[in-house]
Amino acid sequence: MKSISLQWRALGAMLSERFRFKNGSDVQGGEYRTNMLLALIIGIAGGYGAVFFRGAISFVTRLGYGATMLTVDYLESLPWWMRLTIPVAGGLIVGPIVTKFASEAKGHGVPEVMAAVAVRGGIIRPRVAAAKVVASAVCIGSGGSAGQEGPIVQIGSSIASALGQVFKVSPRRLKTFVGCGAAAGIAATFNAPIGGMLFALEIIIGEFGIAQLSPIIVASVVATAISHMHLGDHPAFAVPEYHLQSPFELIHYAMLGVAAAAVGVMFILSLHSSEDFFNKLKIPAWIKPAIGGLIVGTLGAVGLPHIHGVGYDFIEQALLGEAPLMMLVILVFAKIAATSATLGSGGSGGIFAPSLFMGAMLGGVVWYGAHYLTPDLVSPNYGPYALVGMAAMVASTTRAPLQAIILLFELTGGYAVILPLMLSSVIGVLIGNRLFGESIYTIKLKSKGILLRRGREINVLRGIFVKDVMRTELHTVPDNMRLRPLIDFISADTRHTSVFVLDSEQKLKGAISFHELRRVLFDIEALEPVLVADDIANYDVAHVKPADTLDVVMRLFARQDMDELPVVDPDDTRKLIGTIHRADVADAYHKEVLNRDLVGTVATSFSMLDKVSHAGLAPGYSMAEIEVPAHYVGKDLRRLDLRNKDGLEVLLVRRHTPGSGSGMEGMVPSADIVLQAGDVLLVSGKKEAVERLAHR
């Protein structure tokens, strides 16, 4: 393995030299050319990855069930015990893979790719691709209720990330290449180049830009061409003939959008609850996917084999309008339960195909209701409603209506249903957002403390720990120190704004800041003989631990008028082991922003986030990046006095500098800094004060 790694690095170094890479950029203006070349390679890898992955699923299916594809008729012909036990056996194989080899391979995969782009600069461990191929092929092939798109997105993205790391490209370009891998995977899996492109831009990267668009198009087109060569050039589903019976029929499609929003939120919450349940379950992690397989197998054994595997066979039946109403209703909820059990327990697969399945069933249910109420205003069978329900359900769960609409066009070729398709999808997203604010992807990230907004982590400080920033030198005094020596001690070291008071056992008692000290300076001659440090100290001092994140530190800074907090031992909260300074938090924030390569796009972030990018702190408090108001330009921070006038702390000043590689330079604020047009202030304080500053 080590020799292979060295060979890859040598190959990367050779090609980097050949195409004149330097620190991730082409120094002679050929960056566009090299981006296209790498996008081409990623498209080829993603296309063949999708072909191989589908072949792997077929191999596992043939091994377990004796057929290359799971159809409802074939599953019903099998003994009940096979439908029960094979998903369990698959879970027993998947469990050790996702727990021992690559934990990122469990679940539906897309949130992990989104997190890699937003938080880790596009870096994904190379082993994830291998683990995802095996785990997902076994899970889906053995009958687990999951789709192909999540795994192939993660596989394509992992390959692209590994390639970018070999060439040592910049974080911004690495994110684009990860998007190329995702687009290639979606395009090849569903024969949908435009849908793949939009999936990468709308969900993975979270923004539309020319720099990202061109390579993603190349990767998507190349992957689709490879899919055509090996899998054929035809839509995934056959669409029934359709025309709108009456403009009033759009009312029924609007109601389908509302129903898709409700069921979509139900699916999101069910999957999230299942993940929470299995995470808290006190049994070995490797056995949990087998429990999910048992639930799926039980549903299949009692007469619902429709929920096994991807489910495309029964979706096609739904598009032909061949299932009774009660079966459709049962299958909507059975698919939610089966998919939640499969993925929540640690199985590996995607949520796109299950969403299509639920949407098709739900469309049929709405058609039955519409046909009962207004039989003359609906189509002869529920096929068109099933098709529109598929798009509405995908849009509702992913909160990405554009990619859902286009992808369904490409999956089916059903362009005649454009009006109801667009209407239902948009309503599904709007109502879904009102019912529940997170998509099926972002809810998993939010539970890990990653708050994404349009593809960006809005609270950078959640990823930085106190132990990475704390100072270990201690500025302490004994509790019995007299006033005069105390004043001399504090004034002798201007690097600290507070001094911490220890008792006779060297345990933390409190802190003395310059503010506390000022109260006794007016009559020092009289007070000096009688006061000691213990008399002046503030005992209500918040502390932090090394494992706390800096957003916790900022909450405490927002509540207390201190520029320095004590860091205590996790096992003994009275044992002082270090301190953390407000200025150090600002500096860490700036460095992390540079590492994530967000500074260069800060202007775009402002336009997307209404000129203010917020991060939540304590209730009633927030931290935000705000462009300097015009009437502040030319004034220094001493004159503005934002702390006393508005209760705001300026943590960082970011300024455009022509010589800076990122385009902006961060400065720890001082009273003498004169603000310039285009400066960006990182401020914290009460939410109302932050909002007032943002709108000045």
Indicate the average pLDDT of the chain: 80
Q: What is the reported pLDDT for 274?
A: 93
The answer to whether residues 364 and 321 touch, using CB atoms and an 8 Å cutoff, is yes
Does 442 lie in the same domain as 309?
yes
Q: What is the reported pLDDT for 363?
A: 94
- Among 408, 438, 456, the domain boundary falls at 456
Q: Is residue 240 part of a domain?
A: no
Does 318 lie in the same domain as 359?
yes
**Which alpha helices (H) appear in 448-537, and where do they start and end?**
483-492, 514-521, 524-527, 533-536
Q: Is residue 590 part of a domain?
A: no
Mean of the pLDDT values across residues 682-695?
76
The answer to whether residues 245 and 384 touch, using CB atoms and an 8 Å cutoff, is no
Does 624 lie in the same domain as 534?
no
Tell me the per-residue pLDDT of 253-301, one tens digit each, with 9 for 90 and over: 999 999 999 999 999 999 999 999 998 888 998 999 999 999 999 999 9
Does 262 lie in the same domain as 193?
no
Does 434 lie in the same domain as 524?
no
> For 609, phi and psi rounded to 5 degrees?
-110, 30
DSSP-derived secondary structure for 269-331: HHHHHHHHHHHH--S-GGGHHHHHHHHHHHHHHTT-GGGSSS-HHHHHHHHTT-S-HHHHHHH
Give the end-to-end CA distance of the chain in Å, rounded to a whole number. 58
The full 3-state SS of 152-180, as one line of letters, equals HHHHHHHHHHHHHHHCCCCHHHHHHHHHH
Tell me the per-residue pLDDT of 536-591, one tens digit each, with 9 for 90 and over: 777 878 888 888 888 788 777 766 667 788 898 888 888 888 888 877 887 777 66
Q: Is residue 237 part of a domain?
A: no
Does 638 lie in the same domain as 503?
no
Residues 6+ apart with CB under 8 A from 109: 132, 136, 150, 151, 153, 154, 348, 350
Q: How many CA atoms lie within 13 A of 197 on its CB side?
A: 21
11: pLDDT strictly greater than 50: no
Separation of alpha carbons 253 and 419, rounded Å: 9
Q: What CATH number is associated with residue 547?
A: 3.10.580.10
Q: Is residue 588 part of a domain?
A: no
The answer to whether residues 502 and 523 touch, using CB atoms and an 8 Å cutoff, is no
Q: What is the reported pLDDT for 560?
A: 66
pTM: 0.70
Does 502 lie in the same domain as 376?
no
Tell me the per-residue pLDDT of 397-445, one tens digit each, with 9 for 90 and over: 998 888 888 888 777 766 677 888 899 999 999 999 999 988 898 888 7
Q: What CATH number is associated with residue 28?
A: 1.10.3080.10
Q: Is residue 521 part of a domain?
A: yes
Q: What CATH number is associated with residue 612?
A: 3.30.70.1450
Tokens 């039955």 locate to 368
Q: Is residue 58 part of a domain?
A: yes
Q: Is residue 175 part of a domain?
A: yes
Separation of alpha carbons 159 and 607, rounded Å: 32
229: pLDDT strictly greater than 60: yes
State how beta strands 612-616 and 508-513 pair: unpaired
CB atoms within 10 A of CB 145: 34
Q: Is residue 429 part of a domain?
A: yes
- Among 198, 231, 264, the domain boundary falls at 231
pLDDT band at 526 (very low <50, low <70, confident <90, very high): low
22: pLDDT strictly greater than 70: no
User: Looking at the 3D structure of the chain, how many domains does it have?
Assistant: 4
Tell me the per-residue pLDDT of 56-90, one tens digit each, with 9 for 90 and over: 999 999 999 988 888 888 988 999 999 999 999 99
Does 107 lie in the same domain as 20?
yes
50: pLDDT strictly greater than 80: yes
Tokens 């667009």 locate to 422
Does 150 lie in the same domain as 93?
yes
Helix or strand or coil: residue 207? coil
DSSP 522: T
The kind and range of the H/E element at 649 are strand 649-656
- Among 434, 456, 478, the domain boundary falls at 456
Does 570 lie in the same domain as 607?
no
DSSP bridge partners of 576: 568
pLDDT band at 396 (very low <50, low <70, confident <90, very high): very high
Q: What is the reported pLDDT for 424?
A: 94
Residues 6+ apart with CB under 8 A from 4: none
458: pLDDT strictly greater than 60: no
Separation of alpha carbons 387 and 382, rounded Å: 9
CA 683 to chain centre: 25
Instruction: Please give the sequence-ordered ranges of beta strands (E in DSSP) within 24-159, or none if there are none.
Output: 25-26
Does 471 lie in the same domain as 452?
no
Does 297 lie in the same domain as 184?
no
Q: What is the reported pLDDT for 633?
A: 85
Residue 688 tokens read as 């109302």
Q: Crossing angle for the helix pair 31-65 and 149-166, nearest 10 degrees?
A: 140
**Residue-range definition of the domain harbouring residue 378:** 249-456
